[in-house]
Structure 1
Amino acid sequence: MSAPPVLALRGVSKRFGAVQALTDVHLEIHPGEVVALVGDNGAGKSTLVKTIAGVHPIDEGAIEWKGRRTEIHKPHDSQQLGIATVYQDLALCDNLDVVANLFLGSELRRAGVIDEVAMEKRAQELLDTLSIRIPSVRIPVASLSGGQRQVVAIARALVGDPEVVILDEPTAALGVEQTAQVLDLVERLRERGLGVILISHNMADVKAVADTVAVLRLGRNNGVFPVRTTSHEDIIAAITGATDNAVTRRQARTTEAGR
């Protein structure tokens, strides 16, 4: 019998007044798996992530952690389970160095005094383990590139040893080299046995690192696809709700031209 998913959503629904944001949504995340959560604007991706993160408690359905039903009413509940969320705005303090950002709010102490030496050592060990390359752990975050800032934000999420990491558009507005750096880190999270939820609009990024693609459309599930055996066109069709779109027409023209 296969092990239960580390995190599962069973028939989750969420309403904001007269707006039904999520309806009967199911999602499973297994250890060492990258699940890409995709969908058009307004599909419910952000709402779904915030229900997992404890920002918006669910109205109906259930959330399971390692096969057992659990309650997530606030962010602390999510963090205590072992879920870390890295939002698109990163929430880094530009005026502080990398060490201070990694341990902000969870500083290591000795005899009641912040232990800067221990934090610097652990920060360097963590970055080395993840193969994160930055000039120094004592450099101000304001001096880092976009890609370096993103990986520092992800590293900060790992300080608490989570088992599931949620990444909200981690490569948005990054260049090619910086995007590659972030995607490499996502692969290392998988290698460490973490479950990863990757929210992205970039199908190339999804194809590069995801094992599974879960599509949301108008707040509902609209397909779960294995990346290796699913075409780009099929995923776009699930996102848009139509099999006839610019991507599929271009594919048809390319196929016709090759005959």
Structure 2
Amino acid sequence: MTSNEAGTHGAVLADPPPPGEAPLVELRGAGKSYGNIRALHGVDLAVHPAKVTCVLGDNGAGKSTLIKIVSGLHQHTEGEFLVDGQPVRFSTPREALDRGIATVYQDLATVPLMPVWRNFFLGSEMTKGPWPVRRLDIARMKATADRELRNMGIVLDDLEQPIGTLSGGQRQCVAIARAVYFGARVLILDEPTAALGVKQSGVVLKYVAAARDRGLGVIFITHNPHHAYMVGDHFSVLRLGTLELSAPRSEVGLEELTNHMAGGAELAALKHELAQVRGVDTGGLPGGDDLTAPAGD
């Protein structure tokens, strides 16, 4: 145990960075191949401070591969990966964390039966006293965890309660506050609302916005365009390992984002097929209004 203190393809639209503001993390034509399998190809992504970059895509679109490259779990095999404008090639997630890139996965890396404050400092416990009789500084860890959670707007009545007794949304928020406290500058959130209900998803989205307001660059991975549009500043849609769409919020609406996310051609084909089924109203479905049945149908 160690003592730690706080540190602080398709239609691709151009999105110039704000004047004088360099991206914290940037991918330029990045890709990843596993032998003959090309999981990701030609992806451009820029993450700026105090901005939420939403990465959307269906299952198999390449979102997980993108996370693994940025978080240091895997190395890219093509293109460039830059942190603070300098090319990097991380060997381990620890190297990425040392550069301020923290990832909150769906499983949250928590121990359900341990108290909230122990999970907050899990693996980075504060200690006191001389070596070799150093011991946990429980009082300081409790006070620090409570303060940092409150700074993020998270108020828990009892930090001694097992973290497993918290709701899914609350556990996500504790994980976000922990990453912020330990000096994250770039926060990667892997499908944080995927297993949550409407109310708990709203709680998590509120703290995603809170992390952005504290100056972090956030990469929000999701397959839900509605959640993305609530907090996103820039949207990147992956499809079969390539970039389908890259656009700032000002240039894309929710309907267009949803269309790119689902795949316009597939939606049009599905609408046509459903139109042949008796009792199914396809009038309100996206996919084009000029679809007609082929001759002979």
* TM-score strictly above 0.5: yes
After superposition, residues 163-242 of structure 1 pair within 5 angstroms as: 163-242=185-264
Mapped partners of 2:206, 2:70: distance in 1? 25
Q: Percent identity?
A: 41
After superposition, residues 98-177 of structure 1 pair within 5 angstroms as: 98-111=116-129, 112-177=134-199
Q: Which has the higher helix share?
A: 1
The number of residues matched between the two structures is 256
- SS state at 2:244 partner: strand
Structure 2 runs not aligned, ≥5 long: 1-18, 272-282, 290-297
Counterpart of 1:76 in structure 2 is 94
- Tell me if structure 2 keeps the 8 A contact 1:237–1:244: no
Mapped partners of 1:91, 1:63: distance in 2? 26
Mapped partners of 1:213, 1:24: distance in 2? 16
- Tell me if structure 2 keeps the 8 A contact 1:57–1:74: no
TM-score of the superposed pair, with normalisation by structure 2: 0.81
Deviation at residue 11 of structure 1 after TM alignment: 1.4
TM-score of the superposed pair, with normalisation by structure 1: 0.92
- Tell me if structure 1 keeps the 8 A contact 2:259–2:286: no
- SS state at 1:199 partner: strand
C-alpha distance 252-148 of structure 1, shift in aligned 2 (>3 A): closer
The AA in structure 2 aligned to 1:119 is: M
Mapped partners of 1:28, 1:227: distance in 2? 14
Q: Which runs of 4+ in 1 moved over 6 A?
A: 246-249
- Tell me if structure 2 keeps the 8 A contact 1:31–1:194: yes
C-alpha distance 236-204 of structure 1, shift in aligned 2 (>3 A): closer
Deviation at residue 244 of structure 1 after TM alignment: 6.5
Pick one of 68, 73, 77 that aligns with 1:59: 77
Question: Could you report, residue by residue, the CA deviation over 1:45-71 in whole angstroms, capped at 9, with x for unpaired residues?
Answer: 011001111111111222111112222
Question: Could you report, residue by residue, the CA deviation over 1:219-251 in whole angstroms, capped at 9, with x for unpaired residues?
Answer: 111111222441223223323442572699626
The AA in structure 1 aligned to 2:122 is: L
The AA in structure 1 aligned to 2:72 is: G
Q: Which has the larger radius of gyration?
A: 2
Counterpart of 2:21 in structure 1 is 3
- SS state at 2:76 partner: coil
* 2:4 maps to 1:15: no
The AA in structure 2 aligned to 1:140 is: P
Counterpart of 1:250 in structure 2 is 284
- SS state at 1:61 partner: strand
C-alpha distance 252-150 of structure 1, shift in aligned 2 (>3 A): closer
Pick one of 37, 43, 51 that aligns with 2:61: 43
Mapped partners of 2:123, 2:286: distance in 1? 54
- Tell me if structure 2 keeps the 8 A contact 1:103–1:159: no
- Tell me if structure 2 keeps the 8 A contact 1:237–1:243: no
C-alpha distance 251-225 of structure 1, shift in aligned 2 (>3 A): farther
What CA RMSD, in Å, does the superposition of the two structures yield over aligned residues? 2.2
Mapped partners of 1:97, 1:5: distance in 2? 37
- SS state at 2:264 partner: coil
- Tell me if structure 1 keeps the 8 A contact 2:52–2:212: yes
Question: Could you report, residue by residue, the CA deviation over 1:1-42 in whole angstroms, capped at 9, with x for unpaired residues?
Answer: 522101101111111122100112110000000011001110
